[in-house]
Amino acid sequence: MLLKLCNSSEGVFRSEFRKQLLATLSVTIITYCNGISLGWFAPMVTKIQSPIETPHDFSASVEEGSWLGAVVCAGGVTGNIVYGLLLDLIGRKLCIYLLAVPHICFWILVYFAPSIEYLYAARFASGMTGGGTWVVIPIYIGEIADPSIRGRLTSLFTLTLNAGMLTGYILASYVPYHWIPIVVLPLPVLFLLIEFYLPETPSYLLRCEQEALAENSLKFYMNYKASAKLEIEQFNMKFAELKNVMKKQNTQANAVTIRDFFTKRALKSISIGITLMFIYTFSGTFALLSYMSSIFAAIKTDVHPDTNTVIVGVVQIVGAYMAISLVDRYGRKILLMTSTAAVGICLSSFGMYAYLAEKTSVDLTAYRTWLPVMLVALIILTANMGLLPVPPVVMVEVQQAKIRSKAVSFCVTISSALGFVMLKIFLPFLHAYGLAATMWACASFAAFGLLYVTLFVPETKGKSMNTDEEK
């Protein structure tokens, strides 16, 4: 099936795209690692809140559990800002290296945690890596990838994140607590070793006026072999085009000024990025993934909550894979519209089931084993077909090249702040008003998302990443 995805003339396995695919797979190792830390939390938070199951000498209250959930977004805001500032100062490659540092700190703090404060610090460190990946990885992939495959390669960000979350669900559910850091820590070390062999992006090197290095970098990412005259001419034309674009950007201004962010075009693109991340956050899918075991415990299914969580984790990967196969074929906008509409319907349906379970005496015994997990699986599946993977792609693609790194950093910083609010209020809202009201509230945001995407979000499929022209 994977090969079938790439059998078209623009498949990611074509020889000229091979290095771009390998580079994307290597940098998304850290995304996979971050996914493990996020997935680890969903089953673990219910254990930490239980005086019987907790692996520590302490247990967490509902309030402390909500802070554990939310503090990852505080770390995300910090990561967004720090890596956003460093991106143009030290380059994409060094920022990619630095993504591994807080992640390694996360597992060390988890292993040695003698109190809840250590777990707060661990989740904050995890958030820093997560916030950094949302800034650094999409821009890195966008700058090395051919426009015909950029959507699919950028969507690998979500696929590897989901694969990591599934791994985290499994590890937290079935592996002893103190063995998990020992199993996982070699991965960021491997990531650091592999990244040593990847060059800086051609766009950044030209921005720094390192033309010879930029030419070698472009040759690397294009898998250039100079085996035919036509190939040499195509490379020279592409490099000359890239040089002209970067020269134009550099002559416009040596540094980005505040005025660049208040042009009509910049305000429009930034507002699209922020609104998409708002829809992404408040449709509730991220909170569902973070508190999934708690949600299954609240709905009182006949299957163990951790088992249901792992099942949904598998569905998550299927949805992300489907998004990769569709995002460059049908475009970004249609996927967002279809996914957002489907998520809203599935959230409403799950809310109705929860209402029947919580507020009525309807006998749901025959459905408790399979219906709740099926409804949550459909929410996650449909979200991963568009609502989760596509907003980061569009958020990067709509920004002007001159302000892209800072604009993307600003958008994901706002997203992390919104995520902090969502994760902080989700558990208390769930306990105060019930699962039905919570799901219906999320469905209303999905309905708003469908309306907004339909009216205001442009199609960015095939848009050049190195020009500021409107499409």
Question: Does residue 6 belong to any structural domain of this protein?
Answer: no
Question: Does residue 211 belong to any structural domain of this protein?
Answer: yes
pLDDT attached to residue 111: 93
* Rounded CA separation 362/135 (Å): 48
pLDDT attached to residue 230: 63
Question: Checking phi first, is residue 158 left (phi over 0); if not, alpha (psi -120 to 50) or beta?
Answer: alpha
- The residue written with tokens 């990967």 in the block is 317
Q: Which of 320, 414, 417, 326 is nearest to 72 (CA)?
A: 417
* Rounded CA separation 405/97 (Å): 17
Owning domain of residue 410: 13-254+263-456
Question: Does residue 466 belong to any structural domain of this protein?
Answer: no
Torsion 358-364-368-370 (CA) sign: negative
Question: Does residue 471 belong to any structural domain of this protein?
Answer: no
Question: Does residue 441 belong to any structural domain of this protein?
Answer: yes
* Rounded CA separation 119/113 (Å): 6
Residue 355: what residue type?
Y
> What's the structural domain count of the chain?
1
Instruction: Measure Cα distances from 260 to 7, 187, 395 in Å.
Output: 42, 40, 17
Q: How many residues does the chain have?
A: 471
Q: Domain of 250: which CATH number?
A: 1.20.1250.20
The tens place of each residue's pLDDT in the chain, 471 residues long, gives 434 444 444 566 677 778 888 999 999 999 999 999 999 988 888 888 888 888 888 888 878 888 888 899 899 889 988 988 898 889 899 999 999 999 999 999 999 989 999 999 999 999 999 989 988 998 898 888 887 777 778 778 878 988 998 899 899 989 999 999 999 999 999 999 998 888 998 888 888 888 888 888 888 888 777 666 667 777 778 888 788 877 776 665 456 678 888 888 889 999 999 999 899 889 988 888 778 877 887 777 777 777 878 888 888 788 777 766 776 677 788 889 999 999 999 999 999 999 998 888 888 888 888 888 889 889 988 888 888 878 877 887 888 877 876 787 788 788 888 888 888 888 888 888 888 999 999 999 999 999 999 999 888 776 665 555 544
Question: Does residue 119 belong to any structural domain of this protein?
Answer: yes
Q: Angle at the Cα of 344 (from 389 to 399), degrees rounded to 5?
A: 35
Answer yes or no: are the C-beta atoms of 401 and 201 closer than 8 Å: no
* Rounded CA separation 159/181 (Å): 22
Residue 189: what residue type?
V
* Rounded CA separation 284/139 (Å): 26
Question: Does residue 69 belong to any structural domain of this protein?
Answer: yes
Q: Is 307 exposed, middle or buried (0-12, 13-18, 19+ CB in 10 A)?
A: middle
